[in-house]
Amino acid sequence: MNDKLYHECYRHVCQARSLLENLQAWGFDTVTPVLKKSDVGSVVDEKIVPAPDVVKTLDELKDEVERCQRCSLARSRSKTVFARGNPRADLVFVGEAPGFEEDRQGLPFVGEAGGLLDRILFAMGLSEKDVYICNLIKCRPPANRNPAADELAACRPYLECQLSLLEPRVIVTLGRFAAQLLLAVQTPVSHLRGNWYQYQGVAVLPTFHPAFLLRSPAAKKLVWEDMKKVKQRLISEGCKLN
């Protein structure tokens, strides 16, 4: 099987898995294996499952996220948090979930952890206009608790769609949840960080979360090593920087 076909099949398998997880999160415990075309249409029409494939632009996806009612976080959020930065950037950062300040402003990484992320970017010689920053889940979990499995499952198609529209060259995942979800592994982030992986054919480098660095400043040295690798890769691949 050639690479393109392989990735296409892989993408469909991922989408099928997300679809099943979403149905499960909605309380479906059985799926009829043979669906008539009209049945499939009605599932999509009723918006039980969003259909990221029919979403054509990031703006349309953002609008869909703003209206999203797919999990209980919709009831407690102030604003959905879609992204900040440059949609044409070759480098995308994927964090975990909005916190207090992000929920208030509707932008990712604008609180204390965001301040540290901006300083990391500055040290790399980059700014917001050179990167695109988003999260695994688009609504704030109350009291900044960890995202729950059903929330991750409900929100995952949005991230998958967002990344496929962005077509970045390099993805940096921040913290445990983003790395484990995108790479579909349970490995601790301390083992994953600093190594290259792939997500749908795109290079992924997991690193620690800036909020973790605020609690454990000694780990900043490791993140800096990781960011040097990222910058080297972007340069060696002739990606646009500044």
Residues near ligand URA (CB under 6 A) are: 95-99, 102, 108-109, 111, 113-114, 135, 175-176, 189, 208-209, 211-212
In this structure, what token pair is assigned to residue 158?
A: 């949005």
CB of residue 55 vs ligand URA: minimum separation in angstroms? 22
> Residue 119 and residue 125: Cα distance in Å, rounded?
10
Three-class SS state of 90: coil
* Position of minimal CB gap to ligand URA: 95
CB of residue 132 vs ligand URA: minimum separation in angstroms? 13
Could you tell me how far CA 207 lies from the centroid of its own chain? Answer: 14
Q: Of the two residues 19 and 116, which places its CB atom closer to ligand URA in the complex?
A: 116
Exposure string over 171-180, b if 16+ CB within 10 A, otherwise e: bbbbbbbbbb
Q: Of the two residues 52 and 114, which places its CB atom closer to ligand URA in the complex?
A: 114
CB of residue 117 vs ligand URA: minimum separation in angstroms? 8
CB of residue 98 vs ligand URA: minimum separation in angstroms? 5
What angle in degrees, to the nearest 10, is found between the helix axes of 149-166 and 58-66? 160
Q: Of the two residues 52 and 108, which places its CB atom closer to ligand URA in the complex?
A: 108
Q: Of the two residues 97 and 153, which places its CB atom closer to ligand URA in the complex?
A: 97
Nearest to 180 by CA among 171, 172, 189: 189
